[in-house]
Structure 1
Amino acid sequence: MTQVTIREAAMSDIPQLRTLMIAYIVDFYQYRQPEDDKLNALIHELLEQKIGIQFVAETEDGTLVGFATLYFTFSTLRASKIAVMNDLFVVEAERGQGAAAKLFAACKGYSARHGYANLTWTTAPDNLRAQAFYDKMGGDRSNWQSYSANPTSGMGD
Structure 2
Amino acid sequence: MSFLIRNAEPNDLHNLTVLMYEYIVGFYQNPKPPVEKIHNLIQTLFDQQNGVQFVAEKNGELVGFATLFFTFSTMKADKITVMNDLFVIEQFRGTDVESQLFSACQNYSHNHGYASMTWITSSDNKRAQIFFEKMNAVKGKDWVHYSIS
One-letter code aligned to 1:28: F
In structure 1, the partner of 2:94 is 96
Question: What are the superposed Cα offsets for residues 23-52 of structure 1, whole Å, 9 maximum, x if unpaired?
Answer: 000000000110111111000001111110
Measure, in 2, the Cα distance between the counterparts of 1:46 and 1:39. 11
Q: 5 Å matches for 1:7-86?
A: 7-59=6-58, 61-86=59-84
Measure, in 2, the Cα distance between the counterparts of 1:107 and 1:77. 21
Q: By how many angstroms is 1:97 displaced?
A: 1.5
Tell me, what secondary structure is at the counterpart of 2:64? strand
Measure, in 2, the Cα distance between the counterparts of 1:34 and 1:78. 34
Question: What are the superposed Cα offsets for residues 80-108 of structure 1, whole Å, 9 maximum, x if unpaired?
Answer: 00000000000001111210100000000
Structure 1: which 4+ aligned runs deviate by more than 6 Å?
A: none
Gaps of 5+ in 2: none
In structure 2, the partner of 1:107 is 105
Measure, in 1, the Cα distance between the counterparts of 2:16 and 2:119. 21
Measure, in 1, the Cα distance between the counterparts of 2:39 and 2:28. 19
User: Which range is displaced more, 141-150 or 67-76?
Assistant: 141-150
Question: What are the superposed Cα offsets for residues 119-143 of structure 1, whole Å, 9 maximum, x if unpaired?
Answer: 0010000000000000000110112
Measure, in 1, the Cα distance between the counterparts of 2:110 and 2:53. 16
Tell me, what secondary structure is at the counterpart of 2:70? strand
Q: By how many angstroms is 1:145 displaced?
A: 1.2
Measure, in 2, the Cα distance between the counterparts of 1:79 and 1:96. 36
TM-score, length-scaled by structure 2? 0.98
RMSD: 0.6
- Matched residues, number: 148
One-letter code aligned to 2:45: L
Measure, in 2, the Cα distance between the counterparts of 1:26 and 1:42. 16
Measure, in 1, the Cα distance between the counterparts of 2:21 and 2:29. 10
Measure, in 1, the Cα distance between the counterparts of 2:83 and 2:124. 18
In structure 2, the partner of 1:153 is none
Q: Computing the radius of gyration over CA atoms, which structure comes out larger, 1 or 2? A: 1
In structure 2, the partner of 1:127 is 125
